[in-house]
Amino acid sequence: MAVTISRIAILKVQWGYGQSIYEDCTIHVNTTSTAGVGFITAQGALTPNKPTGFVFLSGSIEGKGSVYLGRAYKPYARVIFSNTQMANIIKPEGWEAWNAAGKEYNFFAFQIMN
């Protein structure tokens, strides 16, 4: 089941082990110079066979500041942004390893038609 929300305000992250789809959502980022860089997602699983992940479909990311699309909360993170309009606030690297540093080969972060 897809979640349809007109606006998601991001102060920190959408995080967890869950499985969710966000369709036609506007993600509003509000980071400041005192807060530093932000993260839109922090998804993860401890094993590769867990059916978890976040999918963002046909939405947009707007706001101010500087953000990563996500960081790996656990070694087997899975996040997809598909057909998402992105303001010029996304860090060029897109993603950060965070808790999965050294295990980057395990996590799946994908962008398509953005």
Domain ranges of the chain: 2-112
- Rounded to the nearest 5 degrees, what angle is found at the Cα of 28, between the Cα atoms of 88 and 37? 60
Q: What's the token pair of residue 19?
A: 């499985």
Give the whole-angstrom CA distance, residue 72 versus residue 62. 22
pLDDT tens per residue, range 19-31: 888 888 888 888 7
C-beta separation of 52 from 17 below 8 A:
yes
pTM of the predicted structure, to 2 decimals:
0.78
Check if CATH label 2.160.20.10 holds for domain 2-112. yes
- Rounded to the nearest 5 degrees, what angle is found at the Cα of 72, between the Cα atoms of 34 and 66? 30
Residue 60 has pLDDT above 90, yes or no: yes
Residue 100 has pLDDT above 90, yes or no: no
